[in-house]
Amino acid sequence: MYCSTSSTHIATSTHIATGAASPFAAQFDAPLPSDLREEAHTMTTEAFESTYAPTSGPVRLGQWQCTDADRGATRLGPQARHYEATIAVGERIGTSTATATGPVAALTEMLYERGIAVEMLRFHQLQADGGVATFIRGTDGSHDAWAMGLSDDPIQSALRALVACANRLQD
């Protein structure tokens, strides 16, 4: 489940197609996180995405893969998996690896090893028109920020939200 694809390139485009004047919240059948509802009902999709899902910033995620996706489970419950990613922080680009029970935990560890602390305070994942939206409220220990990731794939959506949160905390 947590290794749905063996290799994925995380693209930076996150736009869910809706009318330019539509409020962002109109794409969801379920309520958004309470802290974001007012803005989601008053902001256009483009304004909401540019605020909460920035596609630029010092932290960028390139190649992402679960390196042992074909390995069977050895016991019941969450299984530790091995992940590998190409991560850029500013001008430094490198490959990181982590062993974790899921992709979000793995990316959190990889970012921490590169000096980017993001502790997740809240996590919400909702079906949206054209994909999955993940909303994360994270903290670096001094500040907190909401961020969002959008994708057809729930794992990619969560990874994008985590990177967006790291970038929002860097501002």
Which residue ranges form the domains of the chain, and what is each CATH number?
Answer: 53-170 (3.30.160.270)
Whether the pLDDT of residue 14 is over 80: the answer is no
**How far, in Å, are 17, 86, 92 from residue 83 at the CA level?**
31, 11, 20
Whether the pLDDT of residue 21 is over 70: the answer is no
- Express each pLDDT in 84-101 by its tens digit: 999 999 999 999 999 999
Query: In terms of C-beta density within 10 A (0-12 exposed, 13-18 middle, 19 or more buried), how is residue 18 classed?
Result: middle
Contact yes or no for 36/135 (Cβ under 8 A): yes
- Residue 156 CB neighbours (<10 A): 25
- pLDDT at res. 69: 77
- Express each pLDDT in 43-62 by its tens digit: 888 999 999 999 889 999 99
Phi-psi category of 34—alpha, beta or left, where left has phi over 0 and alpha has psi -120 to 50? alpha
CA pair distance 86, 69, nearest whole angstrom = 18
pLDDT (mean) for 109-131: 94
As given in the structure block, the two tokens for residue 64 are: 């992402």
- pLDDT at res. 73: 67
Quote the pTM value. 0.85
pLDDT (mean) for 129-133: 88
CA pair distance 102, 58, nearest whole angstrom = 24
- pLDDT at res. 40: 86
